[in-house]
C-alpha cells in the first residue's frame, strides 16, 4: 500500500534535528524542504511555493494547504476543550494536539475548513515528543482519577502515522501508567505499525464511519468504508478497545435502507463497545459561507439549504456576540434520524450510545441518560444531568 506524503515540507529551525523530524524527512526523499525561524502563518505561506502561488479563493488556499506540511515545536499541545454554548451538550475533554489542521482528506463538511480557513492553510505536525510527555506528566501528577486525552479533535489520529510515528511513541507511553489513557479518532486504515504495541488496554481507537455512497461522494480522499472497517477489525483483534462514530448521518433519499445496511455491516465485522451518532451540522460562519467551502456540488447544497440555528441567540460570558448553536435540521428531524439509527444498532448490540453536540431536548426525546453520557471520547462517562430543554 502506498501512503500519503506531502508535496512540500517547511520546518521550524528549532526542530531541525528532532528525531521525529528526521524520520519524516527520511520517508519523503526528493520533496522540497524549507527551514523557517518563525511559525506565523504569513511566514509559512511566504516560504511555500505551493501556498504562495495558489488560487485566490479561500477553498483554493485550503486545498493547496492539504499538500504542505509544517513541522513545528511542541507549543500549546496539551489543553482542555469546553463547549462554549452549553445548550449544545458536549462534555469537556482533555486534548492532545499533536497535529493541527492535521489531515490531508478533503471531507466536504469538515469544520476545520472554517477553523483554519485560508489563514492557516497547511498541515501542522508538532514534534519534540519528550516535551509533550513532560507536559502530560504534569497534568497526570495532579489528577485524582484516570484521565483520557483526545488526539483526534483537530486531526486524524492515524492518517500520518507512517510519517510521524506519534502512535508508536505515545501508545506504549500511555500504557505504562494506571491513570493515563489515549483516545484516537480516525478514518484511516494506516494501522499496521500499531498492532503489536504494548498498549495494555490504555488506548481507545474510534473510527469515523459513514454509509458507503456518502463516504465516496463527500469524504474525498479518505479510505472507503470497507477499508476502515477492515482496519477496525485488525485493531480489535490486537486487543485495543474499539468504538465507532457514525457521523454525520446524511438523510438523502433512501437513507434509511442504506444506513440500516451500514449498521448491519459494522456489527457483522466488529464489536464496538460504544457508538456516538450525529447528523449534519455547521457552525454559523461555515453555513453562511458554504457556497465557497463545499466542493462536491449541488446535492449537498440542496440537502442543507433549509437548515436553521439550533437555539435562540444568547450572549455567553466572554463571547463577543450571541451564539445560536450550530445550523442543522429541526429538532424533530434530528430526533427521527437518531431514533432510527439507535433502533438499528439495538438489533445487534446493547453497546453504549451517545449523541454528538446535541440538545437536551433530543437526548430526552430519545430516552438517553444525560447523567451518564458515554460518548466515544469519554473514558467512562460524563454527567450532563443539569442540562435542560431550551424553551
Domain-embedded: residue 377:
no
Q: What angle do CA 380, 338, 332 make, to 5 degrees?
A: 125
Query: Tens-of-pLDDT digits for all 391 residues of the chain?
Result: 679 999 999 999 999 999 999 999 999 999 999 999 999 999 999 999 999 999 989 999 999 999 999 999 999 999 999 888 889 999 989 999 999 887 999 999 999 998 888 889 999 999 999 999 999 999 999 899 999 999 999 999 999 999 999 999 999 999 999 999 999 999 999 999 999 999 999 999 999 999 999 999 999 999 999 999 999 999 999 999 999 999 999 999 999 999 999 999 999 999 999 999 999 999 999 999 999 899 998 889 999 999 999 999 999 888 888 989 999 999 999 999 999 999 999 999 999 999 999 999 999 999 999 999 999 999 999 999 887 666 5
* Residues contacting residue 311 through CB under 8 Å, at least 6 positions apart: 85, 87, 88, 323, 324, 325, 359, 390
Per-residue confidence (pLDDT) for residue 390, from 0 to 100: 60
Could you count the other beta carbons within 10 Å of the beta carbon of residue 140? 14
Domain-embedded: residue 382:
no
Phi, psi of 265 (to 5 degrees): -65, -40
CATH number of the structural domain spanning residue 304: 3.80.30.30
Burial 292-305 (b: 16+ CB within 10 A, else e): ebbeeeeebeeebe
CA distance between the termini of the chain: 53
> Rounded to whole angstroms, how far apart are CA atoms 367 and 318?
33
Cell numbers for 178: 494506571
Number of helices (H) and strands (E), helices first, in the chain? Answer: 16, 20
Domain-embedded: residue 3:
no
3-state secondary structure of 245: strand
Are 111 and 356 a contacting pair, CB within 8 Å? no
Task: Tell me how far CA of residue 31 lies from CA of 17, 28, 67, 76, 245, in angstroms.
Answer: 17, 6, 11, 28, 35
This prediction has a pTM of: 0.96
Are 272 and 242 a contacting pair, CB within 8 Å? yes
Domain-embedded: residue 181:
yes
Domain-embedded: residue 91:
yes
Closest CA to 282 of 108, 151, 59, 97: 108
Domain-embedded: residue 388:
no
> Rounded to whole angstroms, how far apart are CA atoms 4 and 8?
12
User: To which residue does cell 438523502 refer?
Assistant: 252
Per-residue confidence (pLDDT) for residue 388, from 0 to 100: 64
Are 66 and 106 a contacting pair, CB within 8 Å? yes
DSSP 8-state code for residue 314: B
Structural domain containing residue 157:
8-372
Domain-embedded: residue 390:
no
Number of folded domains that form the chain: 1
Phi, psi of 96 (to 5 degrees): -125, 100
Closest CA to 334 of 268, 279, 272: 279
Domain-embedded: residue 387:
no
Cell numbers for 341: 439509527
Amino acid at each position: 500500500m502506498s501512503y500519503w506524503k506531502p508535496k512540500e515540507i517547511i520546518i521550524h529551525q528549532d526542530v531541525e534535528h528532532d528525531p521525529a523530524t528526521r524520520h519524516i524527512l527520511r520517508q519523503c526523499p526528493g520533496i522540497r524542504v524549507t527551514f523557517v525561524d518563525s511559525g506565523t502563518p504569513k511566514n509559512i505561506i511566504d516560504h511555500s511555493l505551493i501556498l504562495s502561488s495558489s488560487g485566490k479563493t479561500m477553498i483554493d488556499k485550503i486545498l493547496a494547504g492539504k499538500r504542505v506540511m509544517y513541522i513545528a515545536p511542541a507549543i500549546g499541545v496539551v489543553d482542555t476543550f469546553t463547549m462554549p454554548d452549553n445548550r449544545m451538550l458536549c462534555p469537556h475533554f482533555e486534548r492532545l494536539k499533536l497535529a493541527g489542521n492535521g489531515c490531508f482528506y478533503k471531507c466536504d463538511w469538515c469544520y476545520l475548513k472554517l477553523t483554519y480557513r485560508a489563514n492557516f492553510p497547511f498541515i501542522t505536525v508538532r514534534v519534540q515528543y519528550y516535551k509533550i510527555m513532560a507536559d502530560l506528566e504534569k497534568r497526570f501528577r495532579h489528577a485524582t482519577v484516570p484521565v483520557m486525552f483526545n488526539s483526534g479533535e483537530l486531526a486524524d489520529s492515524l492518517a500520518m502515522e507512517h510519517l510521524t510515528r506519534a502512535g508508536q511513541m505515545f501508545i506504549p507511553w500511555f500504557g505504562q501508567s494506571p491513570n493515563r489513557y489515549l483516545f484516537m479518532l480516525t478514518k484511516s486504515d494506516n494501522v499496521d505499525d500499531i498492532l503489536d504495541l504494548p498498549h495494555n488496554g490504555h488506548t481507545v481507537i474510534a473510527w469515523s464511519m459513514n454509509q458507503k455512497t456518502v463516504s465516496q461522494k463527500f469524504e474525498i480522499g479518505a479510505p472507503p468504508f470497507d477499508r476502515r472497517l477492515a482496519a477496525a477489525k485488525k485493531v480489535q483483534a490486537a486487543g485495543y478497545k474499539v468504538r465507532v462514530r457514525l457521523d454525520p448521518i446524511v438523510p438523502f433519499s433512501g437513507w434509511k435502507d442504506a444506513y440500516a445496511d451500514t449498521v448491519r455491516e459494522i456489527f457483522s465485522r466488529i464489536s464496538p463497545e460504544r457508538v456516538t451518532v450525529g447528523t449534519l451540522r455547521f457552525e454559523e460562519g461555515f453555513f453562511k459561507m458554504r457556497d465557497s467551502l463545499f466542493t462536491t456540488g449541488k446535492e449537498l447544497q440542496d440537502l442543507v439549504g433549509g437548515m436553521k440555528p439550533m437555539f435562540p441567540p444568547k450572549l455567553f460570558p466572554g463571547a463577543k456576540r450571541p451564539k445560536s448553536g450550530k445550523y442543522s435540521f429541526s429538532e424533530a428531524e434530528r430526533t427521527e434520524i437518531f431514533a432510527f439509527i439507535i433502533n438499528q444498532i439495538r438489533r445487534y448490540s446493547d453497546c453504549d450510545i451517545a449523541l454528538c453536540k446535541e440538545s437536551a431536548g433530543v437526548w430526552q426525546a430519545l430516552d438517553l441518560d444525560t447523567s451518564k453520557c458515554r460518548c466515544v471520547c469519554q473514558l467512562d462517562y460524563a454527567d450532563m444531568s443539569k442540562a435542560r430543554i431550551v424553551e
